[in-house]
Structure 1
Amino acid sequence: MSNTMTDQDFGEKPVERRDTDNYVKEYTESFVDKWDDLIDWDSRAKSEGDFFIQELKKRGAKRVLDVATGTGFHSVRLLEAGFDVVSVDGAPEMLVKAFENGRKRGHILRTTQADWRELNRDIYGRYDAVVCLGNSFTHLFNENDRRKALAEFYAALNHDGVLILDQRNYDAILDHGYSSAHTFYYCGDNVSVYPEHVDDGLARFRYAFPDKSVFHLNMFPLRKPYVRRLMREVGFQNIETYGDFKETYHDTEPDFFIHVASKKYTGKE
């Protein structure tokens, strides 16, 4: 039997699958093949503009560790902006796709498969920035896993480094319900994404594609204040949070929150 997984398997009670290690099984080869239909590169680039590039440049970052590479969108954008990038993901199928996407655009990605909880075992040297994007941190279901991952990100940074981490706006979904009018800025055409089940410990999202294929991801609904508190407790300073790339926003409006946290001691909170 092939090692390559094509079908997701959440068992008979999918809403009870609440463990960090399940994400590797969720990103099957067939789902990864569809991922670039979901994450439309052109519309995502237009929506983001150069937000991440400017945040990194204004901090003088040159060497960047992209710890949630996925199919390579941010790694490729950062390479094209002149950064020295190393691309990490825990799902091998994602790294294969990222490498292919990079090659199509004339880049050779330096990829490493690594578990965030043991990140520094598999990467070398220190970085000016760690970026953890695409709502990826939400795959961690256990608080100890989240603390360990943040501590590993912290350890991978130079003394004046920066962590940029994003998350879906789960506060709005948990407190006000999910609005179907809310289309996510990165989605490709004709792709339906919505939470099939939400409670304080699980957001189970359903992804439906034009060819009638359906996939799911089980994720932990992280609240914004909780993530900021964990970052502070691990040692990050001066955590700025943006809503959909804006400094000023109403909490219920953004699709995503983006946290920008310094390792350098600033004396500010």
Structure 2
Amino acid sequence: MSHQAFSPEKQDFGRDPVDVRDTDHYQKEYVHRFVDKWDELIDWDARYRSEGDFFVQLLKERGAKRVLDVAAGTGFHSVRLIEEGFEVCSVDGSAEMLAKAFENGRRRGHILRTIQADWRWLNRDVHATYDAVICLGNSFTHLHTEHDRRKTLAEFYATLKHDGCLILDQRNYDAILDHGASSSHKYYYCGRQVSAEPEYVDEGLARFRYSFPDDSVFHLNMFPLRRDYTRSLMKEVGFQDVTTYADFEEDSGTDGEEPDFFIHVAEKRYRNPEASEATDQED
């Protein structure tokens, strides 16, 4: 990943924006003006209330102490976990995002440990192992090819200790692809008078439009991951078990209101299939 000396003020998607399906393009999408407004979209206080201690409890239940936040963005989850006593290292591919995260952390009395790194070569820049890796905020969908997704998951896997876990979230692209559903902003994007809606969708691209109260508009081009596809990739890379939650509740797969997001918890800990089968029979 190249380290840019400056960031342009305007996004550039070329003549045909829906043709932009390149993993590396995100560096041109997170321009300074967009990053500066990102916290309006999230609304930290509202998101604190909507998430509660969901991620904190997931990590504590697994005995995690050292956490690698590989999609730190403007620092929301890094700061949240630091305040809960976790040792956190914050990673992002965008220098603009990391600068904003560091500023947000300092404003709250914390000095974030930050690393700018491309996930596909994560272990080139991150030289420690962690109890947990978190990849939140729909960030994994910036990877536009299956090769990039597999390589990234393998890098996450290698960064984890032998009994570590990966927590990764994604929008409910199944609903968007199949029904044209859009986010209700109930949990993730809590900012008032801010919209984050799909503008164009096909099986290979989800182009989102972000509108702000001052009439500024930005876009992100992402890959629309289907729920079961993501779960399969995790298992194929080597994770032993994957539990999926729908908006912070375990996903039962039953019909009902479509969730905004899916959250996958992938365990690296080895489970003996024969022992598991014996336990199931005893039950």
TM-score between both structures, scaled by the size of structure 2: 0.92
CA RMSD after TM alignment: 1.4
- Displacement of 1:237 after TM fit? 1.2
Query: Per-residue displacement from partner, 1:89-143 (whole Å, max 9, x unpaired)?
Result: 0000000000000000000000000000000000121000000000000000010
User: Which residue is 2:271 aligned to?
Assistant: 266
Following the alignment from structure 1 to structure 2, what is the Cα–Cα distance between the partners of residues 21 and 184?
30
User: Which residue is 1:103 aligned to?
Assistant: 106
Matches within 5 A, 1:187-198: 187-198=190-201
Does residue 212 of structure 2 align to residue 213 of structure 1? no
Matches within 5 A, 1:39-54: 39-54=42-57
Query: Per-residue displacement from partner, 1:191-221 (whole Å, max 9, x unpaired)?
Result: 0121000000000000010000000000000
- Displacement of 1:178 after TM fit? 2.1
Q: How many residues are matched?
A: 267
Following the alignment from structure 1 to structure 2, what is the Cα–Cα distance between the partners of residues 183 and 110?
30
Matches within 5 A, 1:77-88: 77-88=80-91
The amino acid across from 2:227 in the alignment is K
Matches within 5 A, 1:20-99: 20-99=23-102
Which blocks of at least 5 consecutive residues in structure 2 are unaligned? Answer: 277-283
- Displacement of 1:238 after TM fit? 1.3
Following the alignment from structure 2 to structure 1, what is the Cα–Cα distance between the partners of residues 36 and 186?
20
In the alignment, which of 234, 238, 246 is matched to residue 235 of structure 1?
Answer: 238
- Displacement of 1:70 after TM fit? 0.1
Query: Per-residue displacement from partner, 1:24-62 (whole Å, max 9, x unpaired)?
Result: 110000000000000110111111110100000010000
Maintained 8 Å contact 2:182/2:197: no
User: Which residue is 1:183 aligned to?
Assistant: 185
Q: Secondary structure at the match of 1:77?
A: helix
- Displacement of 1:179 after TM fit? 4.3
Which blocks of at least 5 consecutive residues in structure 1 are unaligned? Answer: none
The amino acid across from 1:259 in the alignment is H
In the alignment, which of 141, 146, 171 is matched to residue 144 of structure 2?
Answer: 141
Following the alignment from structure 1 to structure 2, what is the Cα–Cα distance between the partners of residues 197 and 169?
15
The amino acid across from 2:67 in the alignment is V
| Structure with bigger gyration radius | 2
- Displacement of 1:4 after TM fit? 2.2
Identity of aligned residues (%): 71
Maintained 8 Å contact 2:120/2:155: yes
Q: Secondary structure at the match of 2:50?
A: helix
Following the alignment from structure 1 to structure 2, what is the Cα–Cα distance between the partners of residues 156 and 142?
21
Following the alignment from structure 2 to structure 1, what is the Cα–Cα distance between the partners of residues 74 and 185?
21
Following the alignment from structure 1 to structure 2, what is the Cα–Cα distance between the partners of residues 52 and 185?
13
TM-score between both structures, scaled by the size of structure 1: 0.96
